Structure 1
Amino acid sequence: MPHIALYTFGVLKSPLADPAPLTREFHDSSEAVYRTISQHPGYLARAEAADGDRGTHFDLDWGAWGEFAVPAWYGKGHTVETIALAATLSLWTDVRPAFDAIYTGLHRAALNRRHDWFERTGHPGYVCWWVSDGVIPTWQDGVSRLEHLHDHGPAPHAFTFHHSFAPEGTPTRIEGIGPKSGQVR
């Protein structure tokens, strides 16, 4: 049975190493948000560095999730002092559980503060796509799909919760998500 891969990417207003209160707030809340999401029904796995948090995203060993990659529009640093991004890559049983985990609880509270922490880039902040059972998506897969979504809009290859597709590629609407039938956005 196929699973949903979900890649999120945001450019922070200041580097993660910045000691400013807003940066610390974002960083300090992350562990609780990840813990809550990992307990959500439908959650399967997320990319975690094999060697913990020693280094930047770019020099960590991500195992089967592949080498860390970022979209072409990320123009900030790659060093411990300058890195200013937040990215996740996860697997879910279906679109609905992923949506519910993202838009409820602690993660919803964090989303309400996103403009405090993240730059408005004009690019999508996440992308979904279907993967076959047993397939682990890579960071590069997520980047490619996010860039495709930006360049071409939602399609079976790369879509959003609001404009989703079934595993066989047909457009789908999940109750409570996306435009009502007949509505155009």
Structure 2
Amino acid sequence: MNPPPMHLAELNIAHLRAPIDSAELAEFVALLEPINAVADTAPGFVWRLKESETDPTATVVHDYGDHLLMNFSVWESLETLWNYAYRSEHLAVLRRRREWFLRMMEPYMVLWWVPAGQIPTLAEGMRRLERLRSEGPSPEAFTFKDSYDSSEAVSLPAAAEARK
């Protein structure tokens, strides 16, 4: 039996310097809609967690702490996510992150492979981030710098479950 095609899940968290509705973050909030539109139309984009289908500036509400902003998405490949993050208009916003977010001393982004068509949960993403922080990169939780090919994830439980 052939392994299922795999997609790349991504969770990125950031600690805001101020409340999302503050004047200090007004420019960042104004950039959310256009940058999310770039992601939504980028080659290889599959899905992203949205708080609202009608308000593109609505940030995801969660139970993981005040001032913690989350970006959670699925992409067709590592290359398509890389191209969006570092070869699109997103890069100009990324370069300004220190204006809006506190510097984090531990990993704040995690990547992992999921069977195509599977949408992971935010709780799973947070577990993957904790795993990366506690155990370092592995096929279950990795970074751009220390990445793993999707073929290395095919034997993992999520992929095996998708083959059933």
The offset of 1:154, in angstroms, is: 0.9
Report the secondary structure of 1:99's partner residue.
helix
User: Which residue matches 2:44?
Assistant: 42
Deviations 1:119-165 (A, max 9, x none): 01212221110001221111111111111111111110100111111
Match of 1:4 among 8, 22, 25: 8
Report the secondary structure of 2:73's partner residue.
strand
The offset of 1:69, in angstroms, is: 4.8
The reply to whether residue 16 of structure 1 matches residue 20 of structure 2 is yes
TM-score normalised over the length of structure 1: 0.73
In 1, the alpha carbon distance for the partners of 2:27 and 2:89 equals: 13
On the 8 A contact 2:44/2:77 being kept in 1, the answer is: yes
- Counting matched residue pairs gives 148
On the 8 A contact 1:10/1:86 being kept in 2, the answer is: yes
The aligned runs of 1:27-176 (5 Å cut-off) are: 27-49=29-51, 52-53=54-55, 57-58=60-61, 68-70=62-64, 74=65, 77=66, 84-169=67-152
| Gaps in structure 2 of 5+ consecutive residues | 154-164
On the 8 A contact 1:37/1:101 being kept in 2, the answer is: yes
On the 8 A contact 1:69/1:139 being kept in 2, the answer is: no
Change (3 A) 1:51 1:31: closer
Instruction: Give aligned-pair identity as a percent.
Output: 31
The offset of 1:111, in angstroms, is: 1.0
| Gaps in structure 1 of 5+ consecutive residues | 59-67, 78-83, 171-185
